[in-house]
Structure 1
Amino acid sequence: MSKHYEHIIQCFKYLCPMFFRYQRGSRSLAANLSMSQTAVTADAVTPHADTREQEEDFDIPEEVETVIEHLLVGLKDKETVVRWSAAKGIGRVTGRLPKELADEVVGSLLDCLSFQETDNAWHGGCLALAELGRRGLLLPSRLTDVVPLIIKSLIYDEKRGACSVGSTVRDAACYVCWSFARAYEPTELQPFVTQIASALLITAVFDRNVNCRRAASAAFQENVGRQGTFPHGIDILTAADYYAVGNLNSCYLNISVYIASFPEYTNAMIDHLIAMKINHWDSVIRELASKALHHLTPQAPDYMATTVLPKLLTMAVGIDLHGRHGAILACAEVTHALYKLGLQTNRTVVDMISSECVDALKNIHQNLHNRKQYRGFGGELMRPAVCSLIEKLSLSKMPFKNDPLIAEWQQFIDDTIRTLHLVSSGVKDSMMDAVIAALSALCEEYYQTQSGQADPQIQDALVSRYVDGLKSPQILMRCGSALALGCLPRFIISGKLEQILEGLQQMCTVTQEASFTEARRDAVKAISQVCVTVGVCVQGSPDSALCGENVAGVYDTLLKNINDYTTDSRGDIGAWVREAAMTSLMDVTLLVASTAPEILSSDQMRCMMCGLAKQAAEKIDRSRAHAGNIFLRLLHSTEPAVPHIPHREEVLAIFPV
């Protein structure tokens, strides 16, 4: 098909002479920059009188219309090579048409860029416009029609099933902007500089596809060099060059913040995130967009508080699942960012946002619960999002203490832990992390009384609930309960340490089935977390701190789990427990050695170092590396120095610092 187009074009070249072409006055980069600084530009070369007479006298063969019709149809073909060949043909043919007829071809191309057309038509239309621009056949008078369509092409993204189409369209739109830089004088593009620059930077930073980000960066660089009118172009290029935009996380969280520091681009970037990325089909993009809004809040705090947050709160209770998920995450991040800004000016979040927004934040959970939107597939997105909201609102110290909302949040967290076994395997870990983070922040902020203690009823209820959960027949219930005990703050653990350690040690030491290996791993992690939280006190109560009375039991449990070699169809799954036990031994040992090294016995240290040396010779490479790192960390530790390491000097001679 593409060869057929080439044959038509080669024949057509001999039928029609070259009529018109828009020409730039200068192709020199140095001349362009100097002209942009002095605001002196040359007018575009106009067709000569004899050329105009030639246009009027020359008769266009009737076959030309058929040729152009074939080429326009080829722009919508399903094959990329056909669309590319058709775009090349459009460029060659249009250069041999009179101005009026060529303008009709441009009008037909613009019809390809309508939302009634497929992505193939958009791609072919952009390629053809780029060819016309590159050849100087797209007159400046058409820019008012073309530029808005190119801006839409730069954000073209349509969902098809489990993926989306549009990356080719966005890439071709970058090609159009690249061709503009080479085709037009700076004065011709001046009215559109702000639109084009903002759109290119948004694509270069926020596009999901790395090829589109790099194409936009290259187009922006071309415009900066040849036009010289893009605001802060050189400064931005140093941060958003071709290679820098290759890392998606860096683009969203670092480069975007630098670009948004220039006021010309701040609101445009924030608005794009709200309109296109918060409701994106890819959950990774939604999460990155919410974090980007957190980082962009210091650039426009008033705009975020008065304009962006109300929009997000409306989306957070909308009917679109993806938009609802992204909006809840964004509400949490923006609120927390405003809280951080308020710390610098001694203002609370409530002082910075309206009372309507505060009420809307409180009502998000209840609205979702009433609509039963925590169930099914949607629940796998809503539950982590609401957990993130609870965490960020707690960290932001929202004035909800003694509010019935806190009990509802606690009930939601407990219900999420109970139903983790119903969640798809791909999201279990992320949901578990979100639940534990929410519980930790909630307890820290809302369960502490004026005296710094915990309410006895709340304390008893929390500890008893999670200790009982360690005996559940559901493995994820055990995992969640163990991690929940590990994240509790000190004022809740104090007075309940023996009960908590007893429950965790029982789950670790009792011979369990292979299916409970993950639960033992999380229980081992929780033991060290609890010990680090309560700290060490030589003369303290064993129910409130780690001391000589209970440290032996902790070490016995961890040393037994360092020899867990449980296997099943997945292989040596006991390695999870062994690695967790090694990490916990290091954390507890460094804690005790820094405060009360006298409660550590030589037998405990000998067993620990021997166990680590044994694990450093195991068959699993990951376990060997983990054990070796911990062995060296304890051996070389000086502040604090770990006591009773056997043959320290000889081992240091083998493993010097």
Structure 2
Amino acid sequence: MGPGSPPATGAATPPPSAGHCAHPHCHGPRFGLRSPDFPASRHPGSLSRGPRPTRPGPASLRTILAAGASRSGSEARGRRSWGGASVGSHPLRLSSSTSVCISRHPPSRCSGGAELPVHRRGPEQRGWLWARSRARGGRPAAGAPEDGAEDEALARGGFLESFCESAETRALLARLPAVLGDRAAREGALERFRVIMDKYQEQPHLLDPHLEWMMNLLLDIVQDKTSPADLIHLAFKFLYIITKVRGYKTFLRLFPHEVADVQPVLDMFTNQNPRDHETWETRYMLLLWLSVTCLIPFDFSRLDGNLVAPPGQVRMSTMDRILEVAETYLVVSDKARDAAAVLVSKFVTRPDVKQKKMAGFLDWSLHTLTRSSFQTIEGVIAMDGTLQALAQIFKHGKREDCLPYAATVLERLAGCRLPCSNQTLLRKLGVKLVQRLGLTFLKPRVAEWRYQRGCRSLAANLQLCAQSPREPTVHAETPAGDGDCDVPEEVESVIEQLLIGLKDQDTIVRWSAAKGIGRMAARLPKELADDVVGSVLDCFSFQETDGAWHGGCLALAELGRRGLLLPSRLEDVVPVILKALTYEEKRGSCSVGTNVRDAACYVCWAFARAYEPRELQPFVAAISSALVIATVFDRNINCRRAASGTFPHGIDILTAADYFAVGNRANCFLVISTFIAGFPEYTQPMIDHLVTMKINHWDGVIRELSAKALHNLAQRAPEYSATHVLPHLLSMTQSLDLHTRHGAVLACAEVTRGLYRLAVQEDRPITDYLDDAAVRGLKHIHQQLYDRQLYRGLGGELMRQAVCVLIENLSLSKMPFRGDAIIDGWQWLIDDTLRNLHLISTPSRQQIKEAAVSALAALCREYYAREAGEADPARQEELTRQYLADLQSPEELTRCGFSLALGALPCFLLSGRLQQVLAGLGAVTLIRPEDVSFAESRRDALKAISRVCQTVGVRAGGAPDEVVCEANVSQIYRTLLGCLRDYTTDSRGDVGAWVREAAMTSLLDLMLLVAREQPELIEATVCQQVMCCVAQQASEKIDRVRAHAACVFMALLHSGGSPVPHVPHREELEKLFPRSDMASVNWNAPSQAFPLITQLLGLPAYRYHVLLGLAVSVGGLTESTVRYSTQSLFEYMAGIQKDLRALEGFSGTLLQVFEDNLLNDRVSVPLLKTLDQMLANGCFDLFTAEQK
């Protein structure tokens, strides 16, 4: 049974092909599910698909028929259960509106005689357009019919409702003769037509009403004998573009196919050069046209009666001419080769031609295959065309005509050794031809033993609807015998080659082989088909490649949806599919298995539509859990979406884990998984999967996300996490595998923290959940790793970061380790890590530094405070002395680490030591000759100063060693403002920008803190300095710094609650920069930033600093910065051209900037460029006019 054959009545319904009704002869457009001709990654759960499709039951059909044409979507809603049972209490998701599609063709062309096939279409089957309409907010109006709202959303998502460019296209085609002589106009018309047609690539059915008149306009040119050759070629180029968009099969029916058209089309080939690469579209379209005309219902010999040969020549018959044309173009290197294969399949299978020419053509084809080699380009081209032709012949030809040649073709094909070729297309065509040969060996029949579910015809469905609701319908595997079925020996060879094709390295080959397995099994006896299933299951061995697993999944899906995988086999198949849903193999620095998991989702999707609920009920819990796990925990976005589209259970879960929600991996691990864990049947499987499959994953991001997910899930299943998960994780911390150790330590930390949070909510100590063994195991992790020297080397970086996270979480969980020796071990690890940051690889350095600082903060707060909230004097003295000494280290990164460490110390450790700490951090911010390039340490010291101030707080009359007060706040301001003048550059560029950004952030935090707590500590001069320096940074040339400075400036101006006092020109600034407008400004864009910043030139307090920054921008190198800063400056100058006083003030400020920076090349050189442009633009003409 070929792919074009109508499905047998009662067989499992395959997914309809995208864009058409599922019936093979119904070409009505629709947005639908995946076609079996697409790879597995395109099934409904994959990237380009929306929500899970559903299949309405007979009850919905009865409702539709009763409601008639006026039915609403809610009346047509079907009901079905995936697996027949609701695993949890949440309701099953229901399909939305369905519709009935009756074939337009006579009953004789439909399977079952007078029975009209029924196809249902719901919104889930509308594909990606429906999904996009949902993303754009398409929702049914209240009380509106569901169908109308969804159709409206569909139209909005696709943007196209009809062929809108019909008039333009008609004018374009009518203008072709006029533009022929003008090359530019000709190419412009061709490009415009291509753009118009390409818009309809995804909705080509919209062109159907217009194809005929477009065809007629172009063929009129072709058939006009006065048309020049170039115009004919141009017309065929336009025809090809239409064919490319709509597909040649639809287009073929529109070609003229009268008897009188045969000779003219053949005669056109006499003027064609097969090697002319400029006119290949002409030859392609002519071959398609010829393939239609050769279907005329007359013997070709009748067309030769009036042919008169020139003297001395033998006139070739029409049949020979067509065959010669086909053979010629089967071996060309362009697209015409594909059309020649179509021509051959229609021509050679004609009743009159097959008797005379089929044997000869097959001999020629086999000879071509034999003498061609897939190691040369010419050989690949010849084999490609020949294999296409043979596959088409054995597809469209009658079995009795092709059977005598099938064995010979199979034998010759085996001799070509196509599986050894590195040409994917040749291997795919070889598999396709093998399956066609196999179908030729076996008689077409409907397997009586197949599993049947549902009915394919309207009459059968009506009979089911007439049954009593209490009378169950039985659709099960038919125990009837296979009868006398003679299976040729060649079938075994065909099956073997298809099984080899399942393991091919390319998806298209595996997909073709899987379809072949399904088609062949449908014609085999039950016992032999079961052997085929067993052979397919052999692909699922861990000795096989990922390609074999993928091919096996595709084959199982094909067998299942065709009803060839009997329910008795589900016990063997389902465990295999569950393994495939989590299949992943490490290969070098990455992994393989994404396609396997995606295909496994397709198998589940196919099974849900192939079996009665009672058949799947024993497996539905396991499959549902596996799909949930894939939905939220798979590393690949396509697999998560595939599993989400396949998942059968519960509208609550489907809403939370829809196509768009699962697109964000962190959201899946941390949010969606927590929600789904609220359904008890999924909680434990999710936890087990994380522990066994994800904690030891090769990708570090997945390990970290998995540990955080366990933190959330531990609160859903605390007893299981404490008694089973945590002991298992503790044993994994001693693993020899680095990834397993790293993930296990992170997971131990997060699970403990999750249990502590739950214990706090229940007002219980953490030890109520953890037994003594677990507490000891957590405490000894560090010492065990230290004793085994696992903190060294490249793997030591991961372990240091993981143990720092462990220290932080155990400290936050208030583990009973106060006074224990392990605290000293933890302190040693933190200090050693911060002291040796320069030995850590650059990609991991920042993460490890942050983890160590966070661990130190938590450790100090929990274990270094006495009961009264005071510090242990000895520990305080030791830490501050050691950390202040390390601030003077010759290693820049050591200074970075201990600066942040001092900033992370809690208030009780800073008490009495604040002056020392601020002085030490302030010394790090100074630029000395020996550490001029230490910009990172200066940046981190500024961050530490800000954090220290936030920690100790502000009190005007406080002691300078305890809080920020009147005695020390001035020094802090001087330190921060001094760092705004850091313009250090090295091989990395303007590294001083890091320092200036940190200084502005620290100033903002300090100003807001003081304004909120003690506003009297903010002096007018200090506030003016801060605002002016920030305004200068907001007018300079680096986009990132400018944007950050502008945000800081606006935050100081519009600080909510407690306004910053003494802001210069506050009223004018609030008019220039209103709070409501500033949120929409993109300060990174020079076109938006400079017109606003230059307005500050009109305010005397800001003019000097803004002009200093603008001079650097106007005289800079970046084109966009120079253009917009210059334009904004000239616009300001134009506004004051008639104001002598303002111009004098501006000029005096400009001279002052120049005078202050004479020896500073960073300012003086751009300033000279700026002055040059200002003079050239006549900005100071008012002065010269006064002198005259």
Interval of TM-score (by shorter of Structure 1 and Structure 2): over 0.9
Alignment of 1:197-236 (within 5 A): 197-220=624-647, 224=648, 230=649, 233-236=650-653
The offset of 1:43, in angstroms, is 2.0
Amino acid at match of 2:950: V
Q: What secondary structure is seen at the aligned counterpart in 1 of 2:964?
A: coil
SS at match of 1:401: coil
Deviation at 1:445, TM superposition (A): 0.6
Q: 1:182 aligns with which of 577, 593, 609?
A: 609
1:222-244 residue CA offsets vs partner (Å, 9 max, x unmatched):
xx3xxxxx4xx222111111221
Tell me which residue corresponds to 2:801: 384
Residues 1:543 and 2:961 aligned together: yes
* Per-residue CA distance 1:331-371 (angstroms, 9 max, x = gap): 11111111111112221111211100000111000000000
Secondary structure of the 2:662 match is helix
CA distance in 2, matches of 1:387, 1:623: 33
Larger Rg: 2
Note the C-alpha offset of 1:116.
Answer: 1.9
| Alignment-derived partner of residue 24 in structure 1 | 453
**Do the aligned residues in 1 keep the contact of 2:441 with 2:491 (CA within 8 Å)?**
no
Alignment match, 2:757: 340
Partners of 1:317 and 1:40 in 2: how far apart? Answer: 61
Candidates 268, 283, 290, aligned match of 2:707? 290
Aligned mates of 1:241, 1:40 — CA distance in 2: 36
Aligned 8 A contact 2:435 2:498 in 1? no
Equivalent residues of 1:25, 1:42 under 8 A apart = no
Q: Which has the higher contact order (CA 8 A, sep 6+)?
A: 2
Q: What's the counterpart of residue 312 of structure 1?
A: 729
Return the offset for 1:510.
Answer: 3.7
- Given the two structures, how large is their TM-score scaled by the length of structure 1? 0.95
**Aligned 8 A contact 1:19 1:97 in 2:** no
Q: Distance in 2 between matches of 1:96 and 1:641?
A: 84
Structure 2 SS opposite 1:14: helix
Aligned to 1:112, what secondary structure does the other structure show? coil
Contact 1:41–1:185 (CA<8 Å) still a contact in 2? no
Q: Are the equivalent residues in 2 in contact too, given 1:158–1:165 (CA < 8 A)?
A: yes
Deviation per CA, 1:559-579: give whole Å up to 9, x if none: 011121111111111110000
Specify the alignment match of 2:716 in structure 1: 299
Within-5 A mapping of 1:415-494:
415-494=832-911
Q: Can you list the C-alpha shifts for 1:278-325, whole angstroms capped at 9, x where unaligned?
A: 000000000000000011112111111111111111111222211111
Question: Which deviates more from structure 2 when the two are superposed, residues 451-460 or residues 104-113?
Answer: 451-460
The answer to whether the Cα contact below 8 Å between 1:615 and 1:624 also exists between their aligned partners in 2 is yes
Selected match of 2:993 from 575, 584, 587: 575
- Partner of residue 490, structure 2: 63
| C-alpha distance in structure 2 between counterparts of 1:259 and 1:45, whole Å | 34
CA shift digits 1:398-421 (9 cap, x unpaired): 111111111111111111111111
> Cα deviation per residue 1:455-476 (whole Å; 9 max; x = unaligned)?
1111111111111111101111
The SS at the match of 1:10 is helix
User: SS where residue 159 of structure 1 aligns?
Assistant: strand
- Structure 2 unaligned blocks of 5 or more: 1-426, 1076-1188
For the pair 1:406 / 2:823, whether they are aligned, the reply is yes
Q: CA deviation at 1:48?
A: 8.1
Residue 436 of structure 2 corresponds to which residue in structure 1? 10
Q: How far off is 1:56 after superposition?
A: 2.6
User: Structure 2 vs 1, CA of residues 40 and 180 (structure 1 numbering), >3 Å: closer, same or farther?
Assistant: farther
Q: TM-score by structure 2 length?
A: 0.53
Q: Deviations over 1:115-144 (max 9, x none)?
A: 121211111111111111121111111100
The answer to whether the 8 Å contact 1:562/1:611 transfers is yes
Aligned position for 2:522: 95
* Counterpart contact for 2:922–2:975, Cα < 8 Å: yes
Q: 1:48 and 1:119, CA in 2 relative to 1: closer, same or farther beyond 3 A?
A: closer
Q: Which position in structure 1 is the counterpart of 2:663?
A: 246
Contact 1:25 1:45 in 2 (8 A): no
Deviation, 1:594, is 1.3
Alpha-carbon distance in structure 1 between the residues aligned to 2:816 and 2:486: 80
Structure 2 CA distance for aligned equivalents of residues 402 and 566 of structure 1: 46
| CA distance in structure 1 between the partners assigned to 2:911 and 2:949 by the alignment | 11
- SS across alignment from 1:392: helix
Deviation at 1:14? 3.4
Q: Is the 8 A contact 2:557 2:603 kept in 1?
A: yes
| Larger displacement relative to structure 2 (619-628 or 581-590) | 619-628
C-alpha contact 1:490 1:534 (8 A) present in aligned 2: yes
Asked whether the equivalents of residues 278 and 289 of structure 1 are also in contact (C-alpha less than 8 Å), the reply is yes
Is the contact made by 2:574 and 2:619 (CA closer than 8 Å) also made in structure 1?
Answer: yes
Deviation at 1:603, TM superposition (A): 1.0
Match of 1:266 among 667, 679, 683: 683
Residue 469 of structure 2 corresponds to residue 44 of structure 1: no
- The residue type equivalent to 1:643 in the other structure is P
Conserved 8 A contact 1:612-1:628: yes
Could you tell me how far 1:643 is from its partner in structure 2? 0.8
Partner amino acid, structure 1, of 2:1039: D
User: Would you tell me which structure has more helix in proportion to its own residues?
Assistant: 1
CA distance in 1, matches of 2:470, 2:804: 56
Q: Say if 1:514 and 1:567, in contact at 8 Å, map to a contact too.
A: no
**1:627 and 2:1045 aligned:** yes
Is contact 1:420-1:428 (8 Å) kept?
A: yes
CA distance in 2, matches of 1:364, 1:292: 21
For 1:227, the equivalent position in structure 2 comes to none
Aligned partner of residue 658 in structure 2, secondary structure: coil
Q: Which letter maps to 1:78?
A: Q
| Greater shift in the superposed pair: 366-375 or 618-627 | 618-627
Pairwise CA distance, 1:45:
4.6
Gaps of 5+ in 1: 225-229
Q: Who is 2:1140 aligned against? A: none
Alignment match, 2:404: none
Aligned partner of residue 450 in structure 1, secondary structure: coil
Q: Give distance in 2, aligned partners of 1:46 and 1:494.
A: 82
Partners of 2:445 and 2:684 in 1: CA distance? 45
What residue in structure 1 maps to residue 946 of structure 2?
A: 528
Shift in Å, 1:150: 0.4
Q: Deviations over 1:72-102 (max 9, x none)?
A: 1111112222111111111111111111110
Mapped to 1, the partners of 2:478 and 2:719 lie a distance apart of 53
Shift of 1:8: 2.4
Distance 2:439 2:924 in 1: 84
Shift of 1:41: 5.0
Q: 1:606 aligns with which of 1019, 1024, 1041?
A: 1024
Task: Name the SS of the counterpart of 1:202 in structure 2.
Answer: helix
- Within the alignment, does 1:111 sit opposite 2:528 as a pair? no
- Give the drift of 1:557: 0.7
Matches within 5 A, 1:316-331: 316-331=733-748
Shift of 1:26: 5.4
2:813 alignment counterpart: 396
Q: Post-superposition shift, 1:24?
A: 0.7
CA contact (8 A) 2:434 2:494 kept: yes
* CA shift for structure 1 position 387: 0.3
**Which region of structure 1 is more displaced relative to structure 2, 136-145 or 591-600?**
591-600
Q: Are the equivalent residues in 2 in contact too, given 1:483–1:522 (CA < 8 A)?
A: yes
Count of aligned positions? 637
Over the residues paired in the alignment, what is the CA RMSD in angstroms? 1.7
Match of 2:1007 in 1: 589
Partners of 2:446 and 2:523 within 8 A in 1:
yes
Percent of aligned positions with the same letter in both sequences?
60
Q: State the alpha-carbon separation in 1 of the partners of residues 728 and 456 from structure 2.
A: 46
Q: Which residue of 2 aligns with 1:148?
A: 575
* Structure 1 residue 13: Cα displacement: 2.6
The one-letter code sitting in structure 2 at the alignment partner of 1:582 is M
Deviation at 1:624, TM superposition (A): 1.2
Distance 1:217 1:335 in 2: 31
> How much has 1:514 moved relative to structure 2?
4.1
Residue 638 of structure 1 and its aligned partner are, at CA, apart by 3.9
Q: Distance in 2 between the 1:537 and 1:346 partners?
A: 36
